[in-house]
Amino acid sequence: MKKIFTFVKNKYLLTIIGLVVWVSFFDRNDLGTQIELHQQVKQLEKERNYFSQEISVITAETKELTTNPNTLEKFAREKYLMKRNNEDIFVIVESKKK
């Protein structure tokens, strides 16, 4: 019993415990906030990686469109339904079955 009382009476130990409790739960940057911020950073890194990949794909497509006239013609025909003067375009739309 006396050991427990001297252990609790130690002012340095009480100060350290108090600071740990304060920093863990009551501080502006408590553990919950740090965990949320860490999760946000992970999510933002995933988004950054996704957009970096998308940028590289789009850059490659743009380079291909500017250097290859056949690719440019294919792109114009597929995306904008462009045609030559002597051609007819038939657009086939698949209906959804219910």
* HEC readout, 8-65: HHCHHHHHHHHHHHHHHHHCCCCHHHHHHHHHHHHHHHHHHHHHHHHHHHHHHHHHHH
The total of structural domains in the chain comes to 1
The reply to whether the predicted model has a pTM over 0.85 is no
76's enclosing H/E stretch is helix 69-80
User: Side-chain half-sphere of 83: how many Cα atoms within 13 Å?
Assistant: 8
Per-residue pLDDT of the chain (98 residues; tens, 9 = 90+): 667 667 677 888 888 888 888 888 888 888 888 899 999 999 999 999 999 999 999 999 899 889 988 888 888 888 887 887 888 877 788 888 76
**Domain range holding 51?**
30-80
pLDDT score, position 4: 67
Pairwise CA distance, residues 10 & 2, whole Å: 12
What is the torsion angle, in degrees rounded to the nearest 10, for the CA atoms of residue 74, residue 77, residue 78 and residue 79? 110
pLDDT score, position 7: 66
Residue 49 lies in a domain: yes
Residue 34 lies in a domain: yes
Residue 91 lies in a domain: no
